[in-house]
């Protein structure tokens, strides 16, 4: 359980910096700040995935909540408008806890009110419940006024857009229709005020900071008034399906039990690992008849690269092997031209294949699955032919100039294309041009060849095993010849036809951390030493050395400024995983090594309480104090911490002899 008291809850700025997140396993979510003030366009009580896990629509933004205690009104809501914060209900908030979902405790006029909310797994439904925990009043009433938007979660709505809503009463509550979507609001024993009107000029401060549109109007179709009784929960269910509010208690019990089973799969009974296991569940979503992984919340869809990097931590480390098989099967189904999709767009159209590394990470996900699940049969029957087809395509050439060169190393891209994970591009400006032979692509290619060769050997496919081993041998020989930077004692970041990029970046760490490495022990130690000296921070690895004149230490400003800093010094926490694996590989599990990696791992205890509550952010500033930035919850950030917790448990958690 993560909790905050009044010192945070009543601190306006401190409470705004902390955001909660609920998800439903479909790509839908609910989220806001600890105060309930919506500071992003993505904040709301019900963002429904209409084509799971994408096509997400913000239906219900929030509730305006007001208590009437013996006739005296007390607002619980907090909003920011242009020029004003009103009302300021956060002054009554004394406690917040994640237990296992968001629970808010308000105290005012001698009463204590607890509000909890959760999403129903597998449904676009949010359940909000209110309970008087103590009462020193003759009569307590609660008025709730829904504020709705009915818009794509990336966009904003204004009254002038001409959105028309139709309100109908049903046997279970109210039904609101607009833009071919229907929101069902189920409740019991409430008085309904059917007067509807617009609330204008909500200000979303985070969007303003990000240089985006930040003002919105929201429509309130009706209000509900409840008489509260001590010890009895009052429930409201908002959903794309018609439900009865009387089902709320059963839904609550089922969701608590589901989450209990999830955290029981934590690879280590350590509080941080248990919370990371709970966080991991929020990224696993349905796609078609299979499964996928949302790259991050709030704005990401499911990306092939992020999915394959995240799979070992989110599914293998937590022994969710059915989920792992479903995800691997789903992406194998979409292989085209020897490539897995880089991205399933949020609007649900044709997948995009503009990546060189996502497909190579697929091999590492398969290798990790076999090592964790001990299930070669699934790989033999459903994936082995796919893996070989992918290699054959890469050898003869596929999209974007991806092909095997005469030196057995992979070529990729052109000056105008961005195919690696460092893919920021602003108009025609390619921020980190890496066409040619990027270092991590060669490391992943070698790992893929050796992984498939090992499978071929176990499956009795001797000719294929021999051919793959020959390709791997050639790749290793030429990689060491072309990529070793003797002056800096590390690896070049990119080798192109007439140039070698000596930028000190974290991509070289994969040449050490991956299961199959092309480096000898001496060179591996030198690579790790350079990365540690130039790039390591308490929150992960910088994307560029601070000594480089292009280094950007802060990820702030509008889209151009932020994209310009994205891979030019910004810290990525997911890189802590490969760094720890590489560090242990070259130094062994000595007491000093253990102390170093424990300090890095334990540093994330604090972070789970400073941005996305219970989650790990996408990125951090390169400069101290390394403020969290980007998405508040990122799949591979959580996954890599879980992976190293499972794979290096003895070094991280065992007592010293």
- What single DSSP character describes residue 247? G
Nearest CA to 88 out of 79, 97, 96 is that of: 79
Same fold, 2-258 and 265-653: no
pLDDT-above-90 percentage for the chain = 95
Instruction: Kindly list the domain boundaries of the chain, sorted by start residue.
Output: 2-258, 265-653
CA–CA distance, 656 with 71 (Å, rounded to integer): 63
Average pLDDT over residues 574-590: 97
- Terminal CA-CA length for the chain: 31
**Tokens for 274?**
């248990």
pLDDT, position 594: 96
Exposed / middle / buried, residue 445 (Cβ in 10 Å: 0-12, 13-18, 19+): buried
DSSP letter string, 516-553: S--S-HHHHHHHHHHHHHHHEETTEEESS-TTSTT---
Residue 238 burial (CB count, 10 A): 27
Q: What is the CB-side half-sphere exposure of residue 341 using CA atoms within 13 A?
A: 21
Nearest CA to 79 out of 67, 64, 91 is that of: 64
- Assign 349 a pLDDT band (cuts: 50, 70, 90): low
3-state secondary structure of 418: coil
Q: Does residue 657 carry a pLDDT above 60?
A: no
pLDDT tens readout for residues 74-129: 999 999 999 999 999 999 999 999 999 999 999 999 999 999 999 999 999 999 99
pLDDT, position 344: 79
User: Following CA atoms 454, 455, 457, 458 in sequence, which dihedral angle do they give, to the nearest 10 degrees?
Assistant: 120
Q: Does residue 655 carry a pLDDT above 80?
A: no
87 preceded by cis ω (within 30°)? yes
Q: Is CATH 2.70.98 correct for 2-258?
A: yes
Cβ neighbours of residue 261 under 8 Å, at least 6 residues apart?
none
Average pLDDT over residues 582-611: 96
3-state secondary structure of 564: helix
User: Average pLDDT of the chain?
Assistant: 96
CA–CA distance, 263 with 100 (Å, rounded to integer): 10
Write out the H or E segment, with its range, that includes residue 28. Answer: none
pLDDT, position 81: 98
Average pLDDT over residues 569-590: 97
Q: What are phi and psi of 581, to 5 degrees?
A: -60, -45
pLDDT, position 498: 82
pLDDT, position 208: 97
Pairing of strands 536-537, 540-542: antiparallel
Q: Is CATH 1.50.10.10 correct for 265-653?
A: yes
DSSP letter string, 487-524: TTTEE-SEE-SS-EE----GGGGHHHHSSS--S-HHHH
pLDDT, position 76: 98
Residue 499 burial (CB count, 10 A): 10
Asked whether the beta carbons of 316 and 645 are under 8 A apart, the reply is no
Q: Does residue 235 carry a pLDDT above 60?
A: yes
């Amino acid at each position: 359980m993560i909790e905050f008291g009044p010192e945070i809850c009543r601190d306006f700025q401190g409470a705004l910096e902390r955001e909660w997140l609920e998800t439903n396993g479909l790509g839908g979510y609910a989220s806001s700040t600890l105060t309930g003030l919506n500071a992003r366009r993505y904040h709301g009580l019900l963002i429904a995935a209409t084509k799971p896990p994408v096509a997400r629509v913000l239906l219900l933004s929030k509730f305006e909540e007001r208590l009437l205690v013996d006739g005296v009104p007390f607002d619980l809501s907090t909003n920011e408008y242009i020029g004003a914060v009103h009302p300021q209900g956060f002054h009554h908030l004394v406690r917040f806890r994640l237990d296992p979902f968001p629970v808010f405790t308000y105290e005012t006029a001698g009463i204590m009110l607890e509000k909890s909310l959760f999403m129903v797994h597998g449904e676009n439904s949010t359940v909000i419940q209110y309970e008087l925990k103590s009462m020193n009043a003759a009569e307590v009433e609660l008025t709730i006024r829904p504020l709705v938007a009915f818009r794509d979660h990336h966009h904003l709505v204004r009254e002038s857009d001409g959105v028309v809503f139709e309100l109908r009463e049903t046997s279970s509550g109210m039904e609101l229709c607009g833009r071919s979507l229907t929101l069902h609001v189920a409740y019991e024993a409430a008085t309904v005020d059917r007067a509807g009107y617009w609330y204008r000029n909500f200000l979303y401060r985070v969007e303003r900071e990000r240089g985006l549109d930040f003002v919105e109007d929201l429509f309130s179709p009706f209000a509900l008034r409840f008489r509260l009784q001590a010890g009895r929960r009052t429930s409201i269910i908002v959903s794309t399906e018609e439900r009865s509010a009387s089902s709320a208690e059963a839904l609550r019990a089922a969701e608590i039990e589901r989450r209990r089973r999830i955290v029981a799969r934590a690879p280590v009974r350590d509080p941080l690992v248990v919370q990371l296991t709970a966080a991991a569940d929020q990224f696993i979503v349905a796609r078609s008849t299979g499964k996928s992984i949302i790259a991050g919340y709030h704005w990401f869809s499911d990306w092939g690269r992020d999915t394959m990097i995240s799979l070992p931590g989110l599914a293998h480390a937590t022994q969710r092997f059915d989920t792992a098989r479903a995800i691997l099967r789903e992406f194998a189904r979409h292989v085209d031209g020897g490539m897995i999709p880089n991205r399933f767009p949020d609007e649900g159209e044709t997948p995009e294949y503009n990546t060189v590394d996502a497909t190579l990470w697929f091999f590492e996900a398969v290798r990790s699955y076999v090592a964790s699940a001990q299930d070669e049969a699934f790989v033999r029957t459903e994936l082995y032919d796919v893996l070989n087809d992918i290699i054959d395509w890469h050898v003869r050439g596929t999209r974007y100039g991806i092909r095997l060169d005469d030196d057995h190393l992979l070529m990729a891209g052109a000056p105008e294309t961005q195919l690696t994970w460092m893919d920021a591009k602003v108009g025609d400006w390619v921020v980190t041009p890496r066409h040619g032979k990027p270092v991590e692509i060669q490391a992943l290619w070698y790992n893929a060849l050796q992984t498939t060769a090992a499978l071929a050997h176990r499956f009795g496919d001797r000719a294929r095993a021999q051919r793959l081993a020959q390709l791997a041998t050639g790749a290793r020989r030429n990689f060491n010849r072309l990529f070793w930077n003797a002056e800096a004692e590390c690896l070049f970041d990119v080798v192109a036809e007439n140039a070698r990029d000596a930028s000190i970046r974290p991509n070289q760490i994969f040449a050490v951390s991956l299961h199959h490495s092309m480096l000898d022990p001496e060179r591996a130690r030198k690579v790790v030493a350079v990365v540690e000296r130039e790039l390591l921070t308490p929150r992960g690895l910088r994307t560029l050395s601070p000594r480089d004149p292009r280094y950007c230490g802060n990820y702030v400003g509008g889209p151009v400024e932020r994209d310009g800093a994205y891979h030019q010094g910004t810290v990525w926490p997911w890189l802590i995983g490969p760094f720890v694996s590489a560090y242990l590989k070259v130094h062994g599990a000595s007491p000093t090594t253990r102390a170093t990696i424990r300090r890095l791992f334990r540093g994330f205890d604090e972070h789970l309480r400073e941005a996305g509550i219970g989650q790990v952010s996408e990125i951090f500033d390169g400069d101290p104090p390394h403020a969290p930035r980007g998405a508040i919850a990122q799949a591979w950030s959580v996954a890599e911490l879980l992976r190293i917790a499972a794979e290096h448990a003895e070094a991280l958690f065992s007592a010293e002899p």
